[in-house]
Amino acid sequence: MLEMTKIRAERDEIITALRKRNIDVTEIIDAIIAKDQQWRSAKTSMESIASELNKMAKEIGEFFKSGKTAEAEAAKTKTADLKQEESQLKGQVDALENEITQLLYQIPNVPNALVVAGKNEEDNETVEVVGEPAVLHKNALPHWELTKKFDLIDFELGVKITGAGFPVYKGKGAKLQRALIQFFLDEAEKAGYEEFIVPHVVNEASAYGTGQLPDKEGQMYHMPVDDLYMIPTAEVPLTNIYRDVVLPDENFSIKMTGYTPCFRREAGSYGAHVRGLNRLHQFDKVEIVRIEHPKNTDRALTEMVNHVKGLLEKLGLHYRILRLCGGDTGFASAMTYDFEVFSAAQEKWLEVSSCSRFDTFQANRLKLRFKGSDKKNYLAHTLNGSALALPRIMASIMENYQTLDGIEIPEVLHKYTGFTRID
């Protein structure tokens, strides 16, 4: 959520920057500013009355002490009128504050200066390409055929048990999945991230805190009886660990990681491009989350990007890094780097990770602050990244490491899988 102080001070700059997302927020920004002026006026009046009431309370006491009963009763009558006016003003202040908040929820984060304007993925910038495409034999298969051939994943059984998008991993397929999860967690620990096991469902406040609500309610699985949401990513519960927290000083760099299943409705997704593991309703992911002092955000994002690069290079996968344009950047993100692995069997790029900085956008919703050297409270910065999402990594390994009679396992995973190939 954008900060009200910045909206007041940087109205024109914010409107201009958000045009990178192909939206014009002039009307809503001006509505917020107008309501904020009303709110500040009403609050000033309310505080003035509160001050007057405090003063009169002392006067009433003095009147009674000195025997001035009539004056005391008159003051009490005036006090009652002032309290009624104060109550009305408080209702007005609260209503305006809620209206402002609801309007602020509709505005996405301001893109970073490095983010270019653009409409969709076709306008994203390629930052780096690493490696070369795997050279496969002429009868190479896509992963959904490989999983059937070697009995690794049963998509039909998942449909029977739950529905489309909920695959069942079997035998060496399940072990490869588990091996990747452990490998990613171990690498995160080596990089200084503390591991957490977090709930897989969150309350509404948590979903609002990280920006899933009110933007993505149609993509989240909601349990109305309990008013709980299945998590779309571990980012939500991990970041909310620090909701309503004031860090005691400026000396912090918080690095968290966690493995969770993730649940996304993916409404409207269909067709050949989402076949097999390419898009699921339930999938596994290891997430990395950072909470940083604003002066450290650039460095933290670079470190996260390098961490994901290291994972992909250890797995021996050909990948590229994209910096998303304004129109393709997520609602809460100020800047996002996507990682895509090339599938030689499908002859297409598959997204496997996003690393994003949110600056104060999430922290403002979360009320996540730190105490500066001047003893004032300031908003922290948040960042997160997939390190990594499992489905397309699994697909990429199976497709790019396939041979005529089996699938080789990347060497870095051998100690985790207990086998070196699938045949």
The domain spanning residue 319 has which CATH number?
Answer: 3.30.930.10
Q: At which of 42, 73, 104 does a domain end? A: 104
**Which pTM does this prediction carry?**
0.93
Distances (CA, A) of 292 to 246, 282, 298, 346, 416: 13, 30, 10, 39, 33
First to last CA, the chain: 51
The answer to whether 351 is a known ligand-binding residue is yes
Omega cis (within 30) before 224: no
Q: At which of 44, 73, 104 does a domain end? A: 104
The answer to whether 353 is a known ligand-binding residue is yes
The predicted structure's pLDDT at residue 326: 98
The answer to whether 384 is a known ligand-binding residue is yes
The whole-angstrom separation of Cα 223 and Cα 229 is: 6
Distances (CA, A) of 269 to 142, 279, 339, 347: 19, 8, 21, 20
What strand order describes the sheet that includes 282-292? Answer: 125-130, 319-323, 335-343, 348-359, 381-389, 282-292, 253-263, 194-195
φ/ψ of residue 382, rounded to 5:
-120, 150
Residue 114 lies in a domain: no
Residue 111 lies in a domain: no
Residue 115 lies in a domain: no
Domain ranges, residue 30: 4-104
The whole-angstrom separation of Cα 287 and Cα 28 is: 34
Sequence-ordered alpha helix ranges (H) in 338-413: 361-366, 390-400
The answer to whether 343 is a known ligand-binding residue is no
My answer on whether 335 and 285 are in the same domain is yes
Residue 109 lies in a domain: no
The answer to whether 132 is a known ligand-binding residue is no
Residue 52 lies in a domain: yes
The domain spanning residue 96 has which CATH number?
Answer: 1.10.287.40
The answer to whether 264 is a known ligand-binding residue is yes
For residue 320, give the H/E element and its range. strand 319-323
The whole-angstrom separation of Cα 92 and Cα 86 is: 10
- Intervals of the chain under pLDDT 70: 216-217, 267-273
Closest to 264 in 3D by CA, of 300, 234, 295, 224: 234
For residue 408, give the H/E element and its range. strand 407-408
My answer on whether 168 and 65 are in the same domain is no
- Cβ–Cβ contacts within 10 Å for residue 265, how many? 17
Cβ contacts of residue 59 below 8 Å, gap of 6+? Answer: 75
My answer on whether 79 and 203 are in the same domain is no
Q: How many domains does the chain have?
A: 2
My answer on whether 72 and 175 are in the same domain is no
One-letter amino acid at 66 equals S
My answer on whether 98 and 154 are in the same domain is no
The whole-angstrom separation of Cα 44 and Cα 311 is: 55
Residue 110 lies in a domain: no
- Cβ–Cβ contacts within 10 Å for residue 197, how many? 10
Instruction: Report residue 385 as tokens.
Output: 């990244």
Residue 366 lies in a domain: yes
My answer on whether 254 and 400 are in the same domain is yes
Closest to 397 in 3D by CA, of 332, 308, 318, 279: 318
Distances (CA, A) of 307 to 170, 333, 390: 30, 19, 16
Residue 60 lies in a domain: yes
My answer on whether 127 and 212 are in the same domain is yes
Cβ contacts of residue 139 below 8 Å, gap of 6+? Answer: 404
* Cβ burial 162-195 (10 Å sphere, 16+ → b, else e): eeebbbbbeebbebbbbbbbebbbebbeebebee
The predicted structure's pLDDT at residue 270: 54
My answer on whether 137 and 173 are in the same domain is yes
My answer on whether 217 and 269 are in the same domain is yes
φ/ψ of residue 76, rounded to 5:
-65, -40
CB 288 within 8 A of CB 258: no
My answer on whether 255 and 357 are in the same domain is yes
The whole-angstrom separation of Cα 421 and Cα 423 is: 6
The predicted structure's pLDDT at residue 16: 98
My answer on whether 84 and 223 are in the same domain is no
Instruction: Report residue 388 as tokens.
Output: 């990594």
Distances (CA, A) of 198 to 132, 216, 229: 38, 21, 14
Instruction: Report residue 382 as tokens.
Output: 């948040």
The answer to whether 352 is a known ligand-binding residue is yes
My answer on whether 167 and 67 are in the same domain is no
Q: At which of 59, 77, 104 does a domain end? A: 104
Cβ contacts of residue 259 below 8 Å, gap of 6+? Answer: 181, 184, 185, 197, 234, 284, 285, 286, 287
The answer to whether 340 is a known ligand-binding residue is no
